[in-house]
Amino acid sequence: MDEDQEICRVCRSESTPDHPLYHPCKCSGSIRFVHEDCLIEWLSHKKLTFSPCLNRYCELCEYPFQFSPIYRADMPEKVPLYVLCSQLIQRLMYLLKTLFRSIIVIFVWLVVLPNFTLWTWRFYFWSGEHIGFNTIKTSNTTITSEDKVTSSVLKSFLSDCFEGQIITAFVVIIFVAAYLFREWVMQNLPADRNNNNFEPVVVQEQQQHNRDEQRLVQEQVAIDTLLNVVQVMNPPTPERRHDPENEYIQHLEHQLGGIRNEIENELNHRHHRHSTESAVHWLNHPEEEEEGENDRLNALFAGSSSRPSFMLDSDQHEPQEEGAPETEHDEFLPPFYQHRPEVLAGRDFHLDELDVRREEEFHYRRHFQQMDNAIFERPRAPRNPIVPPPLPPPPPAEDNEEPFEVADDINGVLEAIGMRGNPWMLVQNSVLMSLMISLCLGLAVWIPYVVGRLVIMIRPISFIETPIYILRFITDPLVDFVLDTCLPYAWSVTEVYWKQFVPEPIQVTVNSVYDELSKEPPVLHATNGTSSQGLFDLTFIQTQLEETSRRALERWHQFALGQTVLDRSMCILVGYFVFICLGSWYLAHGRRRGSSRTAVQDVIRQQGIFLKVLFFIVIELVVFPTVCGFLLDLATLPLFVNASIESRYMFHLKSPYSSYFLHWFLGTGVLFYFAIFITVCREIIRPGVMWFIRDPNDPQFHPVQEMVERPLPNLLHKISQSALIYSVMLVFGVGTVTYSLAYTGAVFPLRLPFNKPLSTLAVDLLITQFLVPPLVQFMNPRENSKRALDLWWHFASRQLRLTSFMFNVRMPDEEGRHVRKTLKAWILREKATIPTDEFSDVGIDGDDSVVFKRDGMLVRVPKYDSVPVDPKRRMLVPVDPVTLEAIDEEERRRGHPAAADTGDESQSTIVVYVPPHFKLRTIIFLLFMWFSISLFVCSVTVVPLLVGRFLFKVYLAPQADVVNDLYSFALGLYLMMCIGYLTHWLYQSYIAYSARGSAQTEQCLAYIKEKGTK
């Protein structure tokens, strides 16, 4: 081929009349000449779909590709009119078809489906209200004009569509969120739970049964081997019949035979009991039982392979050398000796005396191995199995992943909603979605609503009233007949004999008692005001209690009778609570019976895990922040004008959702900043000080696993402790400072008139937008606060002798105290020489006015914040100052709780010094921290606010009635910052000037000294 000949840079072919070459761009690179179809194929291969309407550029010269149009020779110069009209009609028909299909799709998904969902929703609640107790009341209808009816119907239809769309979207979102939540929980579960390997009690019992059988079989094989060894090494001969050793061996054979019979009987008994218990299960699942039996036998013989090699190594037939140590006989004795000590205790096999028969024993080794093969036909794996070579690494996966294509996803969505593909897909998907939504509403709303409504409508007193009513219905006629007919007739018959035989005094007494009982009880009148007041108070209290109980009962039943959102939500929650109780009872009942697990129990247990995790997540992310927000609101009531508990309650009643959201947002902010404060504290102190607070950044911290594995009471106890700590922090830490400042009357309430700006221009917004961000970046509040907290922490630890505990730095002067014996030493605060030895107290001179006396102790504490914690044991273990071992014998035996996972105390713990009264010092440290933080917050908030108020009142806006405190605070803060930075600059300049002056003075003195020496 000629080098100067033009060829296609893609297919390397020449130009032909059918496929001419073109120069599609301006560059002279590798794509100078190319076929049109080759370039299009190349662009499609690079995921750049070529289209004449799209601008595709050359990668080298960025020039858009251009091709000359190709026409046949018989083509006209202009496009005919009928061709244009036909194509126009086809395009219009396609557009009309697409438009009509779009209208149908929109109508189905935005009108039909929402209305069907809404009517399903209404049907569920209507049917729920008719089940059990019919509470629907008929209402009269009023005939109105046709225009009003049409308008109301249209409004009702549009309202129903919108309401149905909301319900549909809510159901879809909840369904997707529940599915994603389930997947998230399953991914965060432990490996055994994630694989559904919940080992029930039955499986554990089966494993224990297999282990017991394996142990018995091992003992039986060991005894058989002993008997064979004895018979081979001591064959019965007439000349050795009366040998004492032979008598002892026969006695031993008799005992071993008895033990073997006991083991065989025990095995038969276990097999019979196991077959009896599993008879019913085998009838229902014969294949499963057969497979389980085979697995048990395989596990039994595979597990028995841990016996000595001379018994089971059927592959090793070569005899050992004579000089090899004889340890094989003793290897099978420990299991037998351990389980039958009453037989072998005190006995001696006198194996040393049998050394003379070593050669004879050598000839029988092959016989032992053949006997072992006869006992265990299954070949045993070698003691040290050959480890297979590692598999070759898999070849690197080719990067065949297709790039993300938005067009493919859009096509999939359009096909799913019915805009593309077969029109029947629209019907199929819409019907399927309707059924799915109806099923979800039925399972998640209707059934719990019906159950909860029935439970609420149940009156417990009816269970007592109904039997009494039935009993009275039966007994009242009999009692009335006896009292009204029988007794008067009997009295009329016996009255004559009563007057004749009974003495007259007794008759008078009985008649007087009867007359007194027949009278009406007299009305009690109070004799004094005190008793009357007490009786009135008791009656009032009783009346109020009865009225409150009656109202509470009526409100409880109103939940089932009402049709508001709150009433129906309460019925649904009660239904869920009933299902949870029934599921818990079912699981507990099945566990008590010891029955095998079923699929229903697995489903209930799994759903219980999901509900448990969801319950605690809602508590920690919703309920807990909301409660913290309410507490912080109560603690900061004095900050605002006319703020009280009553006003907050009225706002909550007027706007409950806004109130909940605002308090949740406020509480979330508090928890977030408190978490940041804890993180900064962890960065300052040594690791392990805050072992009682879990680090969320710890890779070993798995909150979902803790929620699943830990019992419910423990989790509730942990959350209650956290709630108590945060409540005390907010109420005591914030409330005391706020109410104390409010008591002075100089600061609070804040003045926040947002309707009275200082200027018509939005100066405050401009300042917030352009001055606050660079100011915050310049100040770097996090680093400066961390530096200040670091200095304060070292100072407080130094004063309370906690430096070693907080920073793992031994300070000799903190490990004791100066005992001043004279008044002069106490006034002058004299200090003694600090000994450097642990036992230097022995050599202290008692005549000194000041002595240093050591106190406190060394303790072993956690080294990291992520160590395991045992709440029943102490984490600060006192140790000996010399051996560094635990002083308590029990602690020394059990080890430190922090080393429970690793077992190495040096890796998980360290030894630090703690002073006496450590708990009291810790409490003082926390109180001092609260006081310091409160003082710091007041310094950066209250002081700038007061300074700004003074400047506005005196200089800037004396004519203004009220100035927003935000302006005052910003002005005061800027002024204090300027003063602070000016002071810092002057201090640094003074230090630099002093250092420079000192250097010059030293140079002058050195020069004078040098001249003087010369």
Residue 404 has pLDDT above 50, yes or no: no
Nearest to 593 by CA among 273, 210, 202, 208: 202
User: What are the residues facing 820 on neighbouring strands?
Assistant: 850
Residue 15: what pLDDT?
80
Could you say which DSSP state residue 14 is in? B
Q: How far is CA 400 from CA 397, 403, 408, 623, 721, in A?
A: 8, 9, 17, 48, 54
Nearest to 561 by CA among 1008, 130, 82: 130
587/738: higher pLDDT? 738
pLDDT tens sequence across 110-125: 999 999 999 999 898 8
CA 163-167-169 angle, to 5 degrees, is: 115
Task: Give CA–CA dist 100/112, Å, rounded.
Answer: 16
Interval 704-730 mean pLDDT = 86
CA distance 610 to 618: 12
Note the pLDDT of residue 189: 72
Q: Is the pLDDT of residue 297 over 60?
A: no
Instruction: Please enumerate, as own/partner, the contacts of 432-435 that have beta carbons within 8 Å and a separation of 24 or more.
Output: 433/113, 434/113, 434/116, 434/117
Largest CA distance in the chain: 161
Q: CB 313: neighbour CB atoms within 10 A?
A: 19
- CA dist 952 and 648 (Å) reads 32
Question: In order of start, what are the domains of the chain with their CATH numbers?
Answer: 1-75 (3.30.40.10), 201-375 (no CATH), 603-744 (no CATH), 751-801+926-1014 (no CATH)
User: Which tens digits make up the pLDDT trace of 621-671?
Assistant: 999 999 999 999 999 998 888 888 889 989 988 988 899 999 999 999 999
What pLDDT digit, counting tens, does each position of 144-189 carry?
Answer: 555 556 677 888 888 888 988 999 999 989 888 888 888 888 887 7
Phi-psi region of 421 (alpha: psi -120 to 50; beta: other; left: phi over 0): left
Q: What is the DSSP string of 867-882?
A: S---TTS-SSEEE-TT
Question: Within 10 A of 615 (CB to CB), how many other CB atoms are there?
Answer: 15
At 477-522, the pLDDT tens digits run 888 787 778 877 777 777 776 766 667 777 677 677 666 655 555 5
Q: Find out whether 872 and 816 touch, Cβ atoms under 8 Å.
A: no
Which of 834, 897, 885 is CA-nearest to residue 858? 885
Q: Which residue has the higher pLDDT, 857 or 758?
A: 857
- Per-residue pLDDT of 7-29, as tens digits, reads 887 787 788 877 777 776 656 55
Mean pLDDT of 379-387: 40
Across 369-382, average pLDDT: 40
Average pLDDT over residues 372-392: 41
CB 821 within 8 A of CB 851: yes
One-letter amino acid at 73 equals A
Give whichever of 167-176, 273-282, 491-500, 549-558 has the largest mean pLDDT: 167-176
Q: What percent of the chain has pLDDT over 90?
A: 14
Euclidean distance between CA atoms 400 and 393, whole angstroms: 20
* Cα(791)–Cα(784) distance, integer angstroms: 11
What pLDDT shows up at residue 702? 78
Q: Over the stretch 786-842, which tens digit does the pLDDT of each residue have? A: 999 999 999 999 999 999 999 988 888 888 888 888 888 788 878 888 776 655 554
Q: Where are the alpha helices (DSSP H) in 811-904?
A: 823-828, 889-894
Average pLDDT, rounded, for the chain: 74
**Measured between alpha carbons, how far is residue 305 from residues 215, 292, 309, 423 in Å?**
12, 20, 8, 67
- Non-local (6+) Cβ contacts of 117 within 8 A are 164, 167, 168, 171, 434, 437, 438, 441
> For residue 209, what are the contacts with CB-CB under 8 A and spacing of at least 6?
270, 274
CA 332/CA 100 separation, integer angstroms? 88
Half-sphere exposure of 425 (CA within 13 A, CB side): 13
pLDDT at 324 over 80: no
- HSE-CB for 233 with a 13 A CA cutoff: 26
Q: Please give the share of the chain, as a percent, with pLDDT higher than 70.
A: 66
Indicate if the pLDDT at residue 682 is higher than 80.
Answer: yes
In DSSP terms, which residues pair with 858 in a beta bridge?
879, 913
Nearest to 105 by CA among 417, 483, 548: 417
Higher-pLDDT residue of 412, 354: 412
> Is cis: bond before 749, omega within 30 of 0?
yes
DSSP letter for each residue of 338-381: HH-HHHHTT-----GGGGGGHHHHHHTHHHHHHHHHHH--SPPP
Report the alpha-carbon distance of residue 1003 to residue 1009 in Å, rounded. Answer: 10
What distances in angstroms separate CA 849 from CA 815, 820, 840, 852, 853, one per listed residue? 20, 6, 17, 10, 13
Confidence of residue 235 (pLDDT cuts 50, 70, 90): low
Confidence check: pLDDT of 375 > 70: no
Each residue's pLDDT tens digit, 440-482: 999 989 999 998 888 888 876 666 777 777 887 888 888 878 7
Q: How confident is the model at residue 879 (pLDDT cuts 50, 70, 90)?
A: very high
pLDDT at 568: 86
Q: Can you tell me the distance from the alpha carbon of 270 to that of 277, in angstroms, rounded to the nearest whole number?
A: 11
Nearest to 725 by CA among 629, 628, 870, 867: 628
The contacts of residue 23 (CB under 8 Å, 6+ apart) are: 32, 33
> Cα(691)–Cα(873) distance, rounded to whole angstroms?
14
Least confident piece of the model among 270-279, 371-380, 608-617, 983-992:
371-380
Give the pLDDT band of residue 220 (cuts 50, 70, 90). low
Helix H, strand E, coil C: the string for 38-66 is HHHHHHHHCCCCCCCCCCCECCCCCCECC
Residue 810 in tokens: 């031994």
Band (672; pLDDT cuts 50, 70, 90): very high
Quick one: pLDDT band at residue 951, thresholds 50, 70, 90? confident
d(CA 910, CA 139) in angstroms, rounded, equals 79
Instruction: Report whether pLDDT(928) > 60.
Output: yes
Q: Is 862 helix (H, G, I), strand (E, B) or coil?
A: strand
Identify the CA nearest to 623 among candidates 730, 734, 720, 709.
720
Query: Which tokens hold the place of 468?
Result: 């009494």
> What's phi and psi for 378, nearest 5 deg?
-75, 130
Question: Which range is most confident: 60-69, 191-200, 338-347, 348-357?
Answer: 60-69
What is the model's pLDDT at position 805?
92
Give the DSSP letter string of 722-765: HHHHHHHIIIIIIIHHHHHHHHHSSSPSP---TT--SSSS-HHH
Q: How many helices and strands (H and E) does the chain possess?
A: 39, 7
Is the Cβ–Cβ distance between 330 and 311 less than 8 Å? no
Beta bridge partners of 912: 859
